[in-house]
Amino acid sequence: MNGADLGLIGLAAMGQNLALNFARNGFRVCVYNRTADQTRAFLEQVREEALCAAYSLDDLARCLVRPRRILLMVRAGTAVDEVLEQLLPFLEKGDVVMDGGNSHFADTERRMQALAAEGIRFLGLGISGGTKGALLGPSLMPGGSPEAYAAVEEMLTRIAAVSDAGPCCAYMGRGGAGHFVKMVHNAIEYAFMQGIAEAYDGMRTGMGMSPEVAAEVFARWNEGALQAYLTELTARVLRYRDPETGEPLVERILDEAEQKGTGRWAAQSALELGVPAPTLTAAVTARTLSHFKAHRERLAALLPWPGPVPAAPEGFLADLEDGLNLTLLVAFSQGLWLFHEASRQYQYGTDRAEVLRIWRAGCIIRARWLPFLEEILREDPENPHLLFHPRFLEQIRQRLPGAIRARRWALEAGVPMPALGSALEYLQAMRRAWLPANLIQAQRDAFGAHTYRRIDRPGVFHTEWEETISPRPQGRSPWSV
């Protein structure tokens, strides 16, 4: 076939399903895979008229209408650079290449600049929704030059999921904005999953619930504020019985969580941008820690938690529900703050309300909270973390007592709840007009002459602390709380 609308490189599960999705939405797609057998097998299996195959990149380039539009669905990392290098000789000025993998946003910016020098337009395309979403409608997060986006907008919009606020595809901003947004999406995904796992631990350890009973709780929660793809999925997963043993399969799965890197990059990025995102980071750390199973088993015998395990208090399930809602709201708050700062420092120009809008359907973190959060941001677009908005705060306020009770029980019972704990610590610190950071500043100045600022006069100060004669303390400090 000549005159294909799109070239798609990489026929793993995501690539296959996206190719089908484009084909079923009226686009002619030419597919290419490094191994020809995979390409043949795919075409034979799906028998889709709008699909054709290329067995070299040269063929692929010849098959496409100009300017060419090519989507890379190869493993993030060096494979993307390799394919781009092989592809470049067959491209022409004005062609558009999209990277649909979970690439690091800095790599995307580097590739964008290198290709721009050749006149090739490059877009970082965040894609969420897993393999099913790829086929039936993903949430799409494209970033790069607005002109490059204009060349593919119609195509992307047609294959995207649709919510009552329209197609879940929108321009995320310049440079690596698309992959930055996807990276933060994944960090929120990690935090949500960790929060769910903590609630499940509470039900299991505190109430002795079986996975199937816990599944019913999640199914019920899915009818309220916690309605979300991940809540529903959790109920389904907990209910599933292993066909071989007849036991709930989840109980047979090794408790070491894997990760491919996006959550960790978001945590690193938060540190680099100077944005506090402890809940996103806690979820990454929890996965890392889970990997040390042998250490955990050894310490389980060596470090008993003090005191008897307290009984779960009355209303414990409602407390866990409050805790999970609070964790999720805080995770969104931290993610939005990251966008705010990244957009400022990297000049992305990201419209954060649009980000929330395209997360309403198709993506892994789609949740009932999203229209509410979007509304708040549209009312108050400069609010970095939503915490200043009275209606957002009201939602937090309502859930604080329950979340604190759940956390208190967990602390006493020796049940780790790092996502919930960090969300509460974040709120505690953010609402504290005074923090002991003055002492940190004094220490820094005392050992390293790093200087400090005073609250009673402008300027930067240094003290020779050893020579200071401290006055005797008199009465209460005016800063005591």
The residue number with the shortest CB distance to ligand 6PG is 128
Total number of residues that touch ligand 6PG (CB under 6 A): 13
Residue 394 burial by Cβ neighbours in a 10 Å radius (0-12, 13-18, 19+): exposed
Q: Which residues 6+ apart lie within 8 Å of 299 measured at CB?
A: none
Of 109, 182, 321, 374, catalytic = 182
Q: Where are the beta strands (DSSP E) in 44-151?
A: 51-53, 69-72, 96-99, 121-128, 139-144
What tokens were used for 180?
């930055």
Q: Determine the Cα–Cα distance for residues 98 and 87; give it in Å rounded to an integer.
A: 13
Please state the closest distance from residue 102 (CB atom) to ligand 6PG, in A: 5
Q: Is 182 marked active-site? A: yes
Q: What are phi and psi of 162, to 5 degrees?
A: -125, 130
Residue 126 to residues 20, 121, 139, 179, Cα–Cα distance (Å): 18, 16, 8, 5
Q: Which of 16, 17, 33, 102 binds ligand 6PG (CB under 6 A)?
A: 102
How is residue 173 annotated by DSSP? -
Please state the closest distance from residue 34 (CB atom) to ligand 6PG, in A: 20
What x/- string results for residues 353 through 392 when contact with ligand 6PG is judged by CB under 6 A?
----------xx----------------------------
Residues 308-337 that bind ligand 6PG (CB under 6 A): none
If the CB atoms of residues 87 and 364 are measured against ligand 6PG, the closer one turns out to be 364
Q: Which residues 6+ apart lie within 8 Å of 465 measured at CB?
A: 442, 445, 446
Stretch that binds ligand 6PG, among 127-135, 308-316, 333-341, 459-467 (CB under 6 A): 127-135
Please state the closest distance from residue 263 (CB atom) to ligand 6PG, in A: 6
Residues 151-190 that bind ligand 6PG (CB under 6 A): 186, 189
User: Using the rule CB under 6 A, is 101 a contact of ligand 6PG?
Assistant: no
Q: Which of 67, 77, 94, 130 binds ligand 6PG (CB under 6 A)?
A: 130
Residues 390-419 that bind ligand 6PG (CB under 6 A): none
Q: Which of 16, 262, 334, 350 binds ligand 6PG (CB under 6 A)?
A: 262
Q: Using the CB atoms, write b or e for 62-89: b if 16+ within 10 Å.
A: ebbeeebbbbbbbebeeebeebbeebee
Are 171 and 154 a contacting pair, CB within 8 Å? no
Q: Determine the Cα–Cα distance for residues 399 and 397; give it in Å rounded to an integer.
A: 5
- Indicate which residues carry an active-site annotation: 182, 189
Q: Which residues bind ligand 6PG (CB under 6 A)?
A: 102, 128-130, 186, 189, 258-260, 262-263, 363-364
